[in-house]
Amino acid sequence: MKKYNILFLCTHNSSRSVLGEALASTHYSGIFTGYSAGSAPGAAVNPIAAELTKELGYDQSKLRSKNWDEYALPDAPKMDFIITVCDEAAGEACPYWPGQPITAHWGFPDPSQVKGTEAEKRHAFTEVLYGLKKRIDLLAQMPLDKLDSMTLKDIHTQK
């Protein structure tokens, strides 16, 4: 069975993209390897995002905020899909991605910007987690070898 590499991009690579990486890598189908990066990576992964990825069973030693340039290098893993998960990253000039991967934007609000109690903050992260999970579940059910960018962009509208 072919495994598909998915790179989730967000500006700071500390919350949404990290959740995408963990969800793809731990997906029940076993067909994805998730990666994440950002255009201006933060100093560390958000603690709530780290906690949720741990609950998914994701290897915590892989968690770190990375610059997206790492994945544009000749020896980097070849990506099949590149998905931006924040509006800022979607509007930025991305590096050249070898192999012409399919790209899409799955925008989610930044849960790290939520003010309030710890429970309210965790709820915001959980909402993003469930939204990403739903889209990754739908992606796993599609004929991936025949997928195009338009279909990937519209995946959230499919039932």
Query: Could you tell me the CATH number of the domain that includes residue 118?
Result: 3.40.50.2300
Residue 154 lies in a domain: no
> So what's the pLDDT on residue 153?
61
Share of the chain above pLDDT 70, in %: 86
Q: What H or E segment, with its residue span, contains residue 6?
A: strand 4-9
Residue 157 lies in a domain: no
Residue 65 lies in a domain: yes
* Structural domains counted in the chain: 1
Output the CA torsion sign for 159, 135, 98, 33: negative
Examine the pLDDT at 43 and tell me if it is beyond 50: yes
Examine the pLDDT at 157 and tell me if it is beyond 70: no
Residue 58 lies in a domain: yes
More confident residue, 86 or 112: 112
Examine the pLDDT at 13 and tell me if it is beyond 70: yes
The domain in which residue 51 lies consists of 4-149
d(CA 61, CA 25): 14
Examine the pLDDT at 150 and tell me if it is beyond 70: no
Residue 158 lies in a domain: no
